[in-house]
Structure 1
Amino acid sequence: MYPLVRELAAADAPHRVPVAVTCRVLGLARQPYYRSYLVRGLDGPVTDAEMAEAYRANALFDAHRDDPEFSHRFLLDEARAAGEATAERTAWRICRDNGWWSAFGKRRGRGKNAKAGPPVHDDLVRRGFTADGPNRLRRTYHRRRRQRRLARLTPVEHETIMTPPAALAA
């Protein structure tokens, strides 16, 4: 991927894109890019293997962006159709390194630290958890334990007895 970053950031490129922007869009870290080019110099030659892998990764990324549901095998077929010949193991490694998994393939967040997803269905009971006025709280939970101050009744039984019959009829 780094030869692609270098190619986009070159001074003679038609649309010059800064390294930071390219790395952010592709989801790459900048430090390994600069570290690899400090070893051989920023103007050092890019090997043919690095350039070929960059083009393979670009073809796989294009296929993944078009269909995020595809696994690495289908991405490989799409890359081959685009003209990039790649071994299956190489395609898997590139997809693994860049985190291009199928949208259905990996289960994420199945523990107690998982984020809650969107609600599965609408609220069929149509609960309204809004207060009638400021500093008013609507009770939605009643303790079932019998209490001494309510003459050994549960709060629900106490409300039923103490509420006028006209209110119960309505």
Structure 2
Amino acid sequence: MKIVADLRDRFGVEPILRVLGVAPSTFYDWLAREAEPGERELLDRGLLTEIVDVHDRSGATYGSPRVHATLRRRGIRVGRKRIERLMRAHGLQGAFLRRGWRGGSTKQNPKATPAPDLVDRDFTAPGPNRLWVADATRIVCGDGVLWMAAVRDVFSNRIVGWKTSDRCNTDLVLGAW
């Protein structure tokens, strides 16, 4: 109906509606509802501003269940299905895992031989600086992904070196070492 309203000065209402196969009463009823919306429409508009606020603050990751829970914490009591309807009507959806996503950041080569376990899973040390272990961690931030590698002394449980980077590669781990 908005396109009819935009083009009516150029072509007239009836010719546009005739081409679209829409009764003129449908358009004029829509105009009346736009000029004077009903109580439910006004409530939906107010609720939609809250939904958009919650959705934007989550970085567009919250779907209707989390938006519903957040609105309840704010003291707004509304049904989850109403939130679903409004989000769907306005193109809002939360983040979702792709089918088949396994959670890993790398694909293993099935032909590769694993590195040898030099400590036989025994992570104890008789003194300081006898056994160091390293790990790389993926941290999701607002601007993307940050990788952090840390090297820890097993005896004292202290971090002896660390480094961050936007990529997880050999330079990151060696820099932490």
User: Quick check: TM above 0.5?
Assistant: no
* Higher share in helix: 1
Structure with higher RCO (Cα < 8 A, 6+ apart): 1
Structure ID, larger Rg:
1
* Higher share in strand: 2
Q: TM-score normalized by structure 2?
A: 0.37
